[in-house]
A and B are shown apart, each in its own frame.
Chain A
Amino acid sequence: MTEHSSPAVEGTPHPSNTRTYVTIYLLLLALLAATVGTAFVHLGPFNLAAALAIAFIKGLLVVLYFMHLRDAPRLTWLVAASSFIWLAILVVGILTDYWARRVFGPE
């Protein structure tokens, strides 16, 4: 195969250089070690909170840097954010229902 070079497509900015990607990758690995580590410690309900918090940070790094949301137009931000807002409505709505049934349900 021959290396065919052509100028980068206009309007598709990829300001992230290799160094940024490797830094994000190393951060993700550090957070992986952290999430495995916290699972070995007795934290009660905070085990779940810690696991979710670390997963959110990891997810945010992936979305912002690997998926380039950081450099995306506002409309893309809106679509990305709305998917998680709808997910939050789904999860919070259903879980409060089950929680309320147990706490206030008929005895």
Chain B
Amino acid sequence: MSNVGGHIEQFDSPARRSEAVMLGMWVFLATEVLFFGGLFCVYGVYRYEYHDAFRLGSRRLDLWLGTLNTFVLLSSSLTMALAVQAAAAGRSRRTVTFLLATIALGTLFLGIKGAEYLHKYHDGLLPVAGAPFKWEGPHAGGVHLFLSLYVGMTGLHALHMVIGIGLLSIFAWLAGRPRWWALRRDSFDVLGLYWHFVDLVWIFLFPLLYLIDRTP
């Protein structure tokens, strides 16, 4: 297949190619919306059915670590946007710098999340894979459900973060190769879309899990 100026011959122009690439990624993200959407639906039904239990469970999550993690993830979206911008301008060193910053922030997010999980496990509030569940007082069943959803939804989100950090690492490595760079410039936009989508999921997860009721 011939390659002229970075665009493959079935496309009329590099612009058309780029549009097709981006559209494909948006279609993938649409399937991701519905994938996470199923879990948000389950959450909605059980929050309706076990309203008080969800309130009690939410109060046991670490609000400040959750807020800090939201801050970290929003910051990583800024560095990702700047990396994509640098890539579009053809500035490879700046691209790599911002990709590495995004990797660092993403790893920090996972570290904080891991610390939260560990703390919940020690408190008997991480009811997953046979881990003990300790709850004194009413609504034990509902709280168990809430915490299971908490682990399931944040766990699935964390898995997306792990995949994202892996992709970012590959891109940071490839970004230093001029030949690959010339052919695959719009891949950075695709990576950016993925990373921002993961941020988008967290934007909804955070208030729904951590902020149900914090009134004194």
Contact = CB atoms under 8 A, between A and B. Distances in A.
A68 B80 CA distance: 13
B204 A11 contact: no
Nearest to A57: B203
Interface residues of A, number: 61
A65 B190 CA distance: 15
Contacts of B23: 73, 75-76, 79
Contacts of B189: 12, 68
Nearest to A73: B19
Majority SS at the chain B contact face: helix
Interface string B179-197: 0011001100100110011
A51 B90 contact: no
Interface string A51-73: 11011001100110111100011
Contacts of B78: 21-22, 24-25, 66
Contacts of A21: 78, 81-82, 85
Interface string A1-39: 111111111111010111001101100110010011011
A46 interface: no
A27 to B, nearest CB: 10
A54 B82 CA distance: 24
A47 B78 CA distance: 28
Contacts of B18: 9, 11-12
Contacts of A104: none
B151 interface: no
B194 to A, nearest CB: 10
B2 interface: no
A95 B192 contact: no
A94 B74 contact: no
B44 A91 contact: yes
B100 to A, nearest CB: 12
A95 B200 contact: no
Given A32-B74, A40-B214, A83 B29 contact: yes
A11 B14 contact: yes
A94 B46 CA distance: 11
Nearest 3 pairs of A and B residues by beta carbon: A11-B15, A83-B30, A51-B207
